């Protein structure tokens, strides 16, 4: 193990935001398409950019719809929280001198509004939002952008996320992937090198192992 960079996804990995994402999207569909879709049918939206999700739902003006989604999302902001163990994990990894990064499908405004209030942003050296790369996950571009920004080699980095899109992004870019199942509780045939059932398992795996 020769990692120097540990990169995290946000929603479903650092932030428990599934309830807010799905219920606010449900309201968007009800408002724009005048129909009710059960949240279980909207889980495909987890892990991909908002405008991609909206296009998949047949909404044409995805930019306007995404703004509406963000408005609805704020109604549920009180339900968003850090997963248990994240606040303890990050300083432990920093103490081991890992470079910590974020690759997210949020745009900069969404990241600022949804993530910054939780007070852990300073732990991360490099943040790649969806607008920072030519193509979003599952394409490799976000990770290539991260590697370019940090001058890291692919074998020096691992990406930790919770969806198939995260896994595909990592492997398309030629880096290892760790699957965080503490949010969804299922592998769902997702390819990974490590399966982490809790943030504590991340710490146990990487402590005292930095080259």
Token pair for residue 51?
């405008």
* Average pLDDT score over residue span 65-82: 93
Q: For residue 105, which phi and psi values (nearest 5 degrees)?
A: -85, 5
CATH classification at residue 143: 3.40.50.1000
Task: Work out the angle at residue 188's Cα, subtended by the Cα atoms of residues 187 and 194, and round it to the nearest 5 degrees.
Answer: 25
Nearest to 168 by CA among 190, 148, 185: 190
**86 with 151, same domain?**
yes
**201 & 99 share domain:** yes
Measured distance CA(195)–CA(129) in Å, rounded = 24
The confidence band for 20, taking pLDDT boundaries of 50, 70 and 90, is very high
Residues 125 and 62 in one domain: no
> What range does the domain containing 128 cover?
5-16+81-206
- 10 Å CB burial of residue 137 (0-12, 13-18, 19+) is buried
Share of the chain above pLDDT 70, in %: 97
As a whole number of angstroms, the distance between CA 36 and CA 193 comes to: 38
DSSP result, 84-123: TTHHHHHHHHHHTT-EEEEE-SS-HHHHHHHTGGGS-GGG
Assess whether 34 and 108 both reside in one domain.
no
Average pLDDT, stretch 176-184? 92
Instruction: State whether 102 and 65 are in the same domain.
Output: no
Q: Are residues 33 and 11 in the same domain?
A: no
Q: How far apart are CA 112 and CA 61, in angstroms?
A: 24
Average pLDDT over residues 102-115: 93
pTM: 0.89
Q: At residue 121, does pLDDT exceed 90?
A: yes
User: Which of 190, 135, 189, 106 shows the shortest CA–CA distance to 177?
Assistant: 190
Q: Are residue 88 and residue 100 in the same domain, yes or no?
A: yes
Which pLDDT band holds residue 187 (cuts at 50, 70, 90)?
A: confident
At 34-58, the pLDDT tens digits run 999 999 999 998 878 888 999 999 9
Q: Do both 88 and 170 map to the same domain?
A: yes
Which residue among 37, 55, 79 closes a domain? 79
pLDDT of residue 151: 98
pLDDT band at 21 (very low <50, low <70, confident <90, very high): very high
From the list 55, 53, 50, 51, the residue with the least C-alpha distance to 41 is 53
Mean pLDDT across 171-199: 91
DSSP state of 12: T
The pair phi, psi for residue 128, each rounded to 5°, is -115, 115
What span, in angstroms and rounded, lies between the C-alpha atoms of 63 and 69?
10
**Most confidently modeled range among 110-114, 140-144, 179-183:** 140-144
């Amino acid at each position: 193990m020769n990692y120097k960079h540990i990169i995290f996804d946000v929603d479903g990995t650092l932030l428990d935001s599934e309830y807010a994402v799905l219920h606010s999207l449900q309201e968007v569909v009800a408002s724009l398409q005048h129909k009710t879709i059960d949240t279980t049918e909207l889980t495909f939206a987890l892990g991909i950019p908002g405008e991609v999700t909206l296009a998949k739902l047949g909404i044409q003006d995805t930019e306007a719809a995404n703004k509406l989604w963000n408005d609805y999302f704020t109604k549920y902001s009180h339900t968003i929280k850090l997963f248990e163990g994240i606040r303890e994990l990050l300083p432990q990894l920093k103490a081991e001198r890992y470079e910590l990064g974020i690759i997210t499908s949020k745009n900069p405004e969404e990241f600022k509004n949804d993530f910054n209030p939780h007070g852990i942003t300073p732990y991360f050296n490099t943040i790649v939002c969806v607008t920072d790369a030519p193509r979003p996950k599952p394409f490799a571009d976000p990770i290539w952008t991260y590697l370019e920004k940090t001058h890291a080699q692919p074998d020096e980095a691992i990406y930790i996320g919770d969806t198939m899109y995260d896994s595909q992004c990592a492997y398309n870019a030629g880096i290892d992937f760790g699957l965080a199942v503490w949010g969804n509780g299922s592998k769902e045939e997702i390819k990974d090198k490590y399966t982490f059932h809790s943030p504590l398992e991340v710490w146990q795996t990487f402590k005292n192992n930095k080259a």
